[in-house]
Chains A and B, each alone.
Chain A
Amino acid sequence: MSVTVEDVRRVAALARLDLSPDEEIQLTDELSRILQYMEKLNELDTDGVSPSAHPIPVAGRFRADESEIFSGLDELLAQAPDRRDGYFRVPRVID
């Protein structure tokens, strides 16, 4: 299975990535090779094996519904590149 340059443009648009024409060609080639490599898995016969989301057979472990204020709040917020009045500030996302 190989990736077309249209696939790359579409995924880039969804991920809000701005790619140059050279990068589009480079990524088309690299992503195709990654998929080809993963095709190795298709050699395995999985008939009769139900799909699983996880390798660990543990499920149904839930957390108790208890709350606490995170103690490292200042440090956490300080990591934002831009802030105002307690908000994270990002480039305007709607027109």
Chain B
Amino acid sequence: MNYETVIGMEVHVELHTQSKMFCRCPAHHFQIGANEHVCPVCTAQPGALPVINGRAIELTVMTGMALGCQIRPHSVFARKNYVYPDLPKGYQVSQYELPLCEHGQVVIHTSDGSRKQIAIERVHLEEDTGKLVHQGNASLVDYNRAGVPLMEIVTDASIRSADEAFAYVQKIRQLVRYLGASTGDMEKGAMRCEANISVRPEGSQAFGTKVEVKNLNSFRAVRNAIDYEVQRQIEVIEEGGTVRQVTMGWDEGAATTKEQRSKEFADDYRYFPEPDLLDVDVTDEWIDGARSQLPELPDERAARFVESFRLSADDAAMMTEDRAVADWFEQVIAAGAEPATAANWISGELFRRLKDTEAAIEDVALTPAQLAELIGLITAGTISGSAAKEVFAVMWDEGGGPTQIVEARGLQQVSDTGELESQVDAVIAAQADAADKVRNGDDKPLQFLMGMVMRATRGKANPQVVQQLLRDKLQG
């Protein structure tokens, strides 16, 4: 029997704010000592009162807008009650009945090139939990992360494969990074995913029993855990069993999903409105203020690149994948470079260097104007394509402008026939066999002879001139 996979995703995104959700402690919690960014509010001292961080509300509303959600003018924080030491209050401040954003949608791009719209049920705001380290008969608690603003984005059950789930998570990461709402860094836990997974016989309308899989903390984990869990459920059904509704955790090392103990999760959170906080009422004016901060979103920007710069859809997608790259690319164009050539250099040489050095484009010394100048030198015929790669390498490694490097290293392309003639003659004399073939009308060895001339001139010869010279001498 064939089965259909049904998936709903919950993505938690740590917001990129200075301070925590309800107190002035720094929200930064990576690589600092335990409990350095804590205060009476986030350690739940009696009488301490939370105050809402307006920027966290703004970033959540902006994310909701980017996801086409309706923004609630009136929303409420609620207490989600559970007893576990990762939060010291005995509850997590979250949103339940009245979330900030609802009823949106996002278009995902799957690896086979197709597009699909995924419905967003809600985007709400809550506080992150502390971290626990289990050691012997004790658990050690660090509240640096407790109270960091955490945005939760929930889809409906319209995701149909691990591939779509993967594309969805990629799209969410891209959007929150464009918005400056989060670093989206999964390795550092700034984005964490859970999947509600079920299977049903193909053609069936009724949903199967869903299993919640937590701990999907890398792109690889999203794909592998869903593939694994779908297969597991199909096997249970094929063997005549029934899938139980449980919470599982993805074990990256063992590459399996494992049932989590019910002890860790109360199944009754007794939500009620948080009495320590005022309701969140946002005016039209305030919402307009958030809207005015929205950048051009990646899909719109890619469409504009195709329209205005005549980029291919693939190039446009590559140039808009990251907002900083897109900005950089546009600066290269503004400095006068031809767009498709610029895209080529960025996705080729520049991306390779960024990958090798694990650098972000914001941090490189090379400027968009320098790349534009380099492309200009190629277009003008001053340097050859291979010399340009050498110039690029020098600009990257040692800095400096391309024109200056070309002059210092004598890399100007030689287009002068007189200068090239002796080199061409020398190659013809040394490669008599190949030369004879070309003389007899076989064009194949021509490329080889050109390569020899290019080598003899250290890549400086103008290939078109060399080719013409060879043809004139051998076939003229």
Binding site for B on A (CB under 8 A): 10, 14-16, 53-54, 56, 58-70, 72-73, 76-77, 79, 82, 84-95
Contact = CB atoms under 8 A, between A and B. Distances in A.
B38 interface: yes
A35 to B, nearest CB: 15
> Which 5 A/B pairs are nearest by Cβ-Cβ distance?
A62-B54, A65-B55, A59-B281, A53-B273, A70-B39
Contacts of A69: 25-26, 36-37
B39 A76 contact: yes
Contacts of A64: 54-55
Given A60-B282, A65-B55, A77-B35, A92 B19 contact: no
Contacts of B51: 62-63
Nearest to A50: B74
Nearest to B286: A60
Contacts of B282: 60
A87 B264 contact: no
Given A62-B57, A70-B38, A76-B43, 20 more contacts: A54-B279, A58-B278, A60-B280, A61-B278, A63-B54, A65-B17, A67-B19, A67-B27, A68-B25, A70-B40, A73-B36, A76-B38, A84-B138, A87-B140, A87-B142, A88-B143, A89-B139, A92-B134, A94-B139, A94-B263
A27 B261 CA distance: 29
Interface centre among A73, A79, A87 (most CB of B within 10 A): A87
Contact of A54 (B19, B24, B81, B278): B278
Contact of B34 (A10, A14, A67, A85): A85
A68 B261 contact: no
Contact of A65 (B19, B81, B139, B264): B19
Given A65-B19, A68-B24, A88 B83 contact: no
B35 A62 contact: no
13 contacts: A14-B82, A15-B90, A53-B273, A59-B281, A65-B18, A65-B19, A77-B35, A77-B38, A82-B138, A87-B140, A88-B140, A91-B138, A94-B139
Contact of B56 (A53, A65, A85, A88): A65
Nearest to B19: A67
Given A63-B54, A65-B55, A88 B35 contact: yes
Nearest to A53: B273
Contacts of A70: 24-25, 38-40
A54 B275 contact: yes
Given A59-B280, A76-B43, A92 B25 contact: no
B147 to A, nearest CB: 12
B31 interface: no
Interface in B68-114: 74, 76, 81-85, 90
A50 to B, nearest CB: 10
A62 to B, nearest CB: 3
Nearest to A59: B281
Contacts of B263: 94-95
Contacts of A73: 35-36, 38-39
A62 B280 CA distance: 9
Contacts, number: 141
A76 B34 CA distance: 13
Interface in B176-233: none
B132 A14 contact: no
Interface centre among A59, A66, A68 (most CB of B within 10 A): A59
Contacts of B137: 91-92
B240 interface: no
Contact of A67 (B25, B54, B283): B25
A38 B398 CA distance: 78
Interface in B246-280: 261, 263-264, 266, 268, 270, 273-275, 278-280
Contacts of B446: none
Contact of B83 (A15, A61, A94): A15
Given A15-B83, A62-B57, A65-B56, A89 B140 contact: yes
A59 B279 contact: yes
A91 B82 CA distance: 17
Nearest to B272: A53
Nearest to B20: A67
A93 B84 contact: yes
Contacts of A62: 51-54, 57
Contacts of B34: 85-87
Contacts of A94: 134, 139, 261, 263-264
B133 interface: yes
Nearest to A52: B279
Interface centre among B26, B45, B56, B278 (most CB of A within 10 A): B278
A54 B45 CA distance: 22
B348 interface: no
A86 B33 contact: yes
